Each structure stands twice: as C-alpha cells, then as structure tokens.
Structure 1
Amino acid sequence: MQHEQIYFKNREVAAFRLLDILPIDSMKLEEWTVLATSYGGVPIAKIISQKLGGNFDLMLSSKIMAENNEDCEIAIVTETEEVVIHEELAKSFEISLDFIFEKSKEVYEKQLLRTIKLYRKNKKISNLENKNVLLVDEGLNTGLTMMACIKTAINLGAKSVSVATPILPSATVPTIESIADDLYFVKKLDHFVFIDFYYDKLENIDFEDIKKF
C-alpha cells in the first residue's frame, strides 16, 4: 500500500517532474529569482534556477510551536520578521496573539539572526524589488511557511510571486492561489499524510549541506 503512495524517487526526480509542469519557455522571456523556502527545497530550487537561468537564493524562516505541544506549528517568522499565524490552531489551543508575537520575536533574535549571520554573513536576502520571484519547496504540509514566504516576497517589492512544489494537500491549493500569481504542482492530494511519505528517498538536509550548495 505504501509503495503505491510514492510519487517521487528523490528530490532530483521531483525537480524534473516540476520542470515538465512549468512553462519554462515563456518564463525565460523574463528574468527570475528562484528562492527555496526550506533546506529541503534547495536542491529542487537549484535545478529549476539553472534551467531558468535565474538567480538562486534561500529564504530563511523559523517555526513557532504551540506552548504545550512541540509538534504543533502555530506560526512562521521569516528573516524579514514577517509573521504568519495559523489562526484556527491558535484559537483551538487558546493561544493569544501576544504570546505568538512575543515568541516570534524571541525565535527571530535567538535562532534566525544566527542562521542569517552564518548563511549570508548578515547580508539581506537578494533584492526582490520589481523582480519575478519563484518560490520552491519539496512539498507543502500546512502551507504556512510558503504563505509567510509569499508575504515576505510581496513586501520586499516583488513584481510577481509564483509557487512551485511537487506535492501538496488539496486543501492548501485555494489559499496559495489566492495570494500567489501562479501555483505549479505535480500532485495534489485530498488525504495528505506528510511530505516524506511521497518520496522513496528524502534525505535530511541540514545547514552544513546548504553551505555546499
């Protein structure tokens, strides 16, 4: 049963499956900045950026977890301090907005700033002013990180913001489509388990791996 659910052998295969979906020829008529929205999205975004002949970068972010449940992601803070909240979860856990913003500030200052310093030596993310931006990830679970990255790209002055991901839950599609200019995906599923479930081999990628890219 599990074997039937596997759609991608690895990230490289997923990247080339995405390239089959993307309108590469028409996209090449303009310049693009391709941004990975997670460490796992970096190998895929790198392949796509090379095919597009575009600039490549990684948009850094951190998860904010519920106070009493370290597996429950209630918000995302990006490297520009944009915060996107999973409002339904926050309400169901009765978590105040004050707590979330306070926690976001703490995570930003203690974790994210350190990562920014290590990754790009305190430099800001690529200039996105009037640029076409393609945000890429290995898959979406809740879509919260992607939404935060879309918001960040828009606020950094991007001319257009599109999203490309191999796999995502059907329920996430309308939300992403409502805030992005275009959404490209290989597979959407009504009963989504988690990203790893749909890859035969999804090796963990950490910060040291990212530096090699």
Structure 2
Amino acid sequence: MFTDRLQAAERLADALAHYRGSHPLVLAIPRGAVPIGAVLAQRLEGDLDLVLVRKLHAPHSPEFAVGAIDEAGWTYVAPHAAAAGATASWIEEQKESQLQELARRRQLYTPGRGPADVAGRVVIVVDDGLATGATMVAALHAVRERRPARLVCAVPVASPDAVQLVGQHCDEVVCLAAPAGFAAVGQFYASFPQLEDEEVIALLAGEKRD
C-alpha cells in the first residue's frame, strides 16, 4: 500500500492540508513515526517534536501491546490484557522497565528540556500505523492533559478497532486506510526498516537522512 514511510507521509500531508496556516505542532511517536512527522511539519508549515510513550507488551509477544505508558507514568491497560496473559505483576514490571526507557529517550532526544508546550495549539500526534491503538491512546492522553486547542490523531494505516478506540481520545482521526484484514503495520509498507536513535536525533535537528 505504501512504498515507505516517506511516501506515506506525503499522502498523509495531503489529507491534513486543511491545517496548513494554523502553525500546527506535529508530535511524532519515536522511533518509526519521526520521519513521517518531519514531512508533515514541513508540508504543513508547523513545528516537529516528540511525544514519548511506550507499549506494554504481552508475555512472550514483544510486538503485541496489552497497554501503554507515558513518561509521567499514566498507564492505559487494554481490555484484552488478561486474556493475553498479562497479570498485574507483569504489568507492573513492564511499567517500571518502560519508564526507564522513556527517561533514557528523553535525555537522549531532547536533552535539557521536557515535553513541548502544547497549550492553545493545534496538535497532530502521528504514528506510522496502529495495531491495537494502545500506544496512541497513551500519547493522546499525555497531550490532552496539557490543553491543546485541537488534538488530531494522524496515521497512514490502522486496524478498524484501533481507529474506533483512538477516536474517543481526540478531536479528529485522520487515517488513510483501515483495512478489515489488518494483521500488522509492517504488512502495508514495501520498505519498513527499524530506525535508530541517531536518525531520530538528526531529524529533530532538521537534518536529512541519506
């Protein structure tokens, strides 16, 4: 469906073109969404920053989210968590581990400062795709707490269930495709490489990747 994240970003920017002129703040969820966020910020004449959240994964299934946590410690636990084998103690272990990773990323990606000021702004939270939607829920909650004027969730592709879920936590969902046969985000990209920390830092600095 998409050649790569950059092609998906161009298509997503077209769908968000009505926000050009409002100087939106584009908040990308690291790492995979950062290249998309960079394109959106440029095309929509806005600013790029990050919203730091982490998934809580199921036992023995690191790609399957049973919840998510933001850097303030607020946690979303999905209704399917127990059925996926995530006990209360497992969730607590995951929370502790992911909070440490969030602190590491904050220090690495934006040393010397915390989250961007979103108050009174149009804020577009972007990811490269949503499977369960858990991570996006945590991201939207983290932003909503800081009183944006309008809160938008923007993704190239998502499961239908995820679209329905995240729609309860924002003012608008812009999703290019929500196919019934959704299994994993990567299946909708011809090229879907993992990003490294250095690439995130370079994109935040406005540098171009090779």
User: Could you say whether these structures have the same fold, taking a TM-score greater than 0.5 normalized by the shorter chain as the test?
Assistant: yes
1:120 counterpart = 2:118: no
Asked if the contact 1:77/1:83 (under 8 Å) is kept, the reply is: yes
Report the structure, 1 or 2, having the larger helix content.
1
Q: Which of 65, 68, 72 in structure 2 is aligned with 1:80?
A: 72
How far 1:107 moved relative to its partner?
2.7
Using the alignment, how far apart are the partners of 2:173 and 2:60 within structure 1?
34
The question of whether the paired residues in 1 share the 8 Å contact of 2:33 and 2:127 is answered with yes
Q: Normalised by the size of structure 1, how large is the TM-score?
A: 0.87
Partner of 1:158: 148
Separation in 2 of the partners of 1:122 and 1:115?
12
State the 1:102 CA deviation: 5.4
* Secondary structure at 2:82 match in 1: helix
1:107 equivalent in structure 2: 98
Shift in Å at residue 151 of structure 1?
0.5
State which structure, 1 or 2, has the greater radius of gyration over its C-alpha atoms. 1
Q: Name the structure 1 match of 2:134.
A: 144
Distance 1:194 1:47 in 2: 23
Distance in structure 2 (CA, Å) of the matches to 1:129 and 1:159: 7
Gap regions ≥5 residues in structure 1: 1-6
Residue type at the aligned position of 2:5: R
1:180 Cα shift? 1.2
One of 8, 12, 20 as aligned partner of 1:14: 8
Equivalent residues in 2 for 1:1-213, closer than 5 Å: 7-22=1-16, 24=17, 26-67=18-59, 69-90=61-82, 93=85, 95-96=87-88, 99-101=90-92, 103-108=94-99, 110-213=100-203
CA distance change for structure 1 residues 86 and 34 in 2, over 3 Å: closer, same or farther?
Answer: same
TM-score normalised to structure 2 length = 0.88
Quick one: percent identity of the two aligned structures? 24
- Aligned residue number for residue 4 of structure 1: none
